[in-house]
Amino acid sequence: MAENVLVAPPMEEEPEPTPERPSPWLRLARLFLRQREASIVVVAIALIIYFQLSKPAFLSAQNIRTLSQFVAATAIISAGEVMLLICGEIDLSVGQVYALAPFIMYFAKQEAGLPLIVGLILGLIVCALVGLFNGLITVALRVPSFITTLGTLFLINGLTLTISQGFPVLTPSEGLVDEVLGHASYSEIIWAIAIAIVMQIVLSWTRWGLHTIATGGNLLGASEVGVNVARIKIGNFMLCSVLGGFAGTLEAFRITSIDPQAGGTDIMFLAVAGAVIGGTALTGGLGTIIGAFLGTLVLSILRDGFTLLGVSAFTFDIILGAAILVAMILNVRLRLWREAGRE
Amino acid sequence: MSEFTTPEVIRTEGLVKRFGAVTALNGVSLYLRQGEVLGLVGDNGAGKSTLIKILTGFLQPDEGRIFIDGTEVRLHSVSHARSLGIETVYQDLALINELSVYHNMFLKRESLLKPFPLLDNRRMRRLAREYLESMGVNIPSVDIEVARLSGGQRQSIAIARAVYSQARILLLDEPLAAMGAKEGSLIMNLIRTLKNEGQVSIIMIAHNYAQVLEICDRVNLLQHGRIVLDKPAAQTSVEELTELVMREYRAGVNQRRQPAAG
Ligand SMILES: Nc1ncnc2c1ncn2[C@@H]1O[C@H](COP(=O)(O)OP(=O)(O)OP(=O)(O)O)[C@@H](O)[C@H]1O
Ligand SMILES: [Mg+2]
């Protein structure tokens, strides 16, 4: 090294970047990789490249629309699950309010003659009450939310099947309302993105978000400092349910029918898996909405891509399971690497 | 006689707190005068932290009365106690590992970007940095998560949070437990400064009797949920406190032996 310095021409214009100050690009790359969501973005891009190379129809306008429909409803639910997971709880029943909310809207319109919007709001209020119920049982009676919401899962499912008598109905339509609320091509994904942005702001830049992290990070400590942890938990149960009901309603407008069997545990587990792949810890205190959105995107890309490749549904589940494991392992490894690199 | 004749900011009468079969507090009556530093000492499990948690509104007593500034109150929540000017450094520190230093310091007292309900992170970050600097606390940055700090650094954060909250009454549960020599004396100096300013009244729990006698005006010894000694610091000594604790210990041992012997 010393010799190099001596040999180096003294008129050199650009000094070699020292190890502490690498080139801006390298620094940008490092900054990016240290973000919690970086690993999942890398996975998503790799998958897109892979599917595009094996099936050029992957990035066609048609397929992008399909993909956006896969993502939207699940991403909205995962935003709610992230808030709950961060404060240390989970909602297994969100796939059932997903089916219930549009039915309430339907009956409000068909039976009571109320405007569609009023029906939608009524549906969401019922969802909020389901969330309140989940929250009260969990917080006041100290039943673990895994059990509480397993109970409401069956309860709400039975309720929806009873009021619908098990039959799907046509989604009522009312001028522009149904277009805006999911029927128009990209309206559902626009809602999903808007909700993700708003929820990320709530999580990162409001007291509610801060107190949610505090509650999940250190329940005793947070309450010693005076955070009303019961209120935070119950509020997030309600939020998650409302988002579930809203997602179900958007989907009902999109496919123009309301199915009592829609959603269910499938969409709930996808939303939770998306959140976890996106970096949310099941132990509480950690997670981002954007990460969950990207996690859901990865799952949707997998599903859509393999469908395009003509992989059978059975094989798909095997691949999906493996993909979730690989994504999780990658995520954990990258997180450890990131933490080591921060010193 | 204590030199303090200022008004009482806290008085408790006959506080009782039970946890199932355990009686943590068995009729605690104490008082704290304006501007005074009261040392609370006692063995492990004597009930010191339980007493603090009642005064901070985190626990509710089963029996007994609490007066703040001469008015009887039922402290029903931490926020309620805080609204009366009471701040606490808990023994477990009550820090959130996942949050940054400055978010921890401003938890429940967040600055907002009025009129929006958004956090004013820049202001909180700046104030946190100022507070820690003026306390002489060494941490790499107020942006890092608390999980990455040492035990003493964490304790400094908890103390800074309470001290800079403009509280009138500070409850410090073993504030020096994890401190190195330098940090410990910085905290002692800080308490001394607060004392000289005379604005805050402090209850401080510590196991180091010498430190307690050095900094406190008055000492209360808590044993088995009761206050068994209340003296000005100048009129007691490390020896007396140790002797009282050891006598109690020997009595306990004898009691346990007797049934076996008899
Ligand atoms: N939440 C609780 N549930 C059950 N028992 C408790 C609880 N908190 C305290 N106790 C009991 O009350 C008694 C007093 O505990 P406390 O924490 O007040 O003691 P302490 O004087 O602060 O002790 P240390 O010096 O070890 O901090 C102990 O016997 C303890 O086991
Ligand atoms: Mg204690």
Taking residues A81-96, report their average pLDDT. 97
Report how far residue B38's alpha carbon sits from residue B212's, in angstroms, rounded to the nearest whole number. 9
Owner of token pair 């969990």: A138
Sign for the pseudo-dihedral over CA of B178, B180, B182, B184: positive
CA A96 to ligand 2 center in whole angstroms: 46
Which residues 22-41 of B are in CB contact (within 8 Å) with A? none
Nearest to A77 by CA among A263, A205, A279: A263
Which residues of A, range 182-221, sit inside 8 Å of B by Cβ?
A: 201, 205-207, 210-211, 213-214, 216-218, 220-221
The C-alpha R_g of chain A, in whole angstroms, comes to: 23
Domain spans in chain A, listed from the N-terminal domain onward:
62-335
Sequence-ordered list of residues with C-beta below 8 angstroms from that of A2, at least 6 positions apart, any chain: none
Do A235 and A208 touch, CB atoms closer than 8 A? yes
Q: What is the pLDDT of residue A15?
A: 44
pLDDT digits (tens, 9 = 90+) for B33-83: 999 999 999 999 999 999 999 999 999 999 999 999 999 999 999 999 999
Residue B56's CB is within 10 A of a number of other CB atoms, namely: 24
Mutating to test ligand 1, I would choose from B50, B60, B245 the residue with most ligand atoms within 8 A of its C-beta, which is B50
Contact A195, A79 (CB under 8 A): yes
The CATH number of the structural domain formed by A62-335 is 1.10.3470
Delimit the domains of chain B by residue range: 8-94+168-261
A chain contacts of residue B99, beta-carbon cutoff 8 Å: 210, 213-214, 217
More confidently predicted of A53 and B179: A53
Q: How confident is the model at residue A26, as a pLDDT?
A: 82
Mean pLDDT over residues A220-230, rounded? 96
Q: What is the pLDDT of residue A339?
A: 64
H or E stretch covering A75:
helix A61-86
Query: Do A224 and B92 make contact, defined as CB atoms within 8 angstroms?
Result: yes
With a cut of 60, say whether residue A107 has pLDDT above it: yes
pLDDT the model gives residue A34? 66
Q: Give the Å distance between the CA of B45 and the centre of ligand 1.
A: 5
- The arithmetic mean of pLDDT across residues A48-59, rounded, is 93
Question: Alpha-carbon distance A218 to A215, whole Å?
Answer: 6
Give the pLDDT score at A3. Answer: 38
Where does the pLDDT of residue B179 fall: very low under 50, low under 70, confident under 90, or very high at 90 and above?
confident
- What is the rounded CA–CA span in Å between residue B185 and residue B208? 13
Average pLDDT over residues B99-115: 95
Assign residue B225 a region (left: φ > 0; alpha: ψ between -120 and 50; beta: otherwise): left
- Tell the burial category of A42 from Cβ atoms under 10 Å away from its Cβ (0-12, 13-18, 19+): middle
List pLDDT tens digits, range A239-298.
Answer: 999 999 999 999 999 999 999 999 999 999 999 999 988 888 888 898 999 999 999 999
From the CB of B19, is ligand 1 less than 6 Å away?
Answer: yes
Amino acid, res. A81: E
pTM above 0.95, yes or no: no
Characterise B65 by phi-psi region: left (phi > 0), alpha (psi -120 to 50), beta (else).
beta
Binned at pLDDT 50, 70 and 90, residue A338 comes out as low
pLDDT at residue number A5: 38
Identify all chain B residues contacting A210, using CB atoms and an 8 Å cutoff.
99, 103, 107, 110, 119
pLDDT tens per residue across span A122-160 = 999 999 999 999 999 999 999 999 999 999 999 999 999
- In this prediction, residue A7 has a pLDDT band, given cuts at 50, 70 and 90, of very low
Check residue B173 and give its pLDDT: 95
Among B55, B59, B96, B111, which would you mutate to test the A interface (most chain A Cβ atoms within 10 Å of its Cβ)? B96
CA distance A339 to chain B (A): 10
Class in CATH terms, B8-94+168-261: alpha beta
Task: Identify the pLDDT of residue A11.
Answer: 42
Angle between helices A289-308 and A264-277 (to 10 degrees): 120
Give this complex's ipTM: 0.91
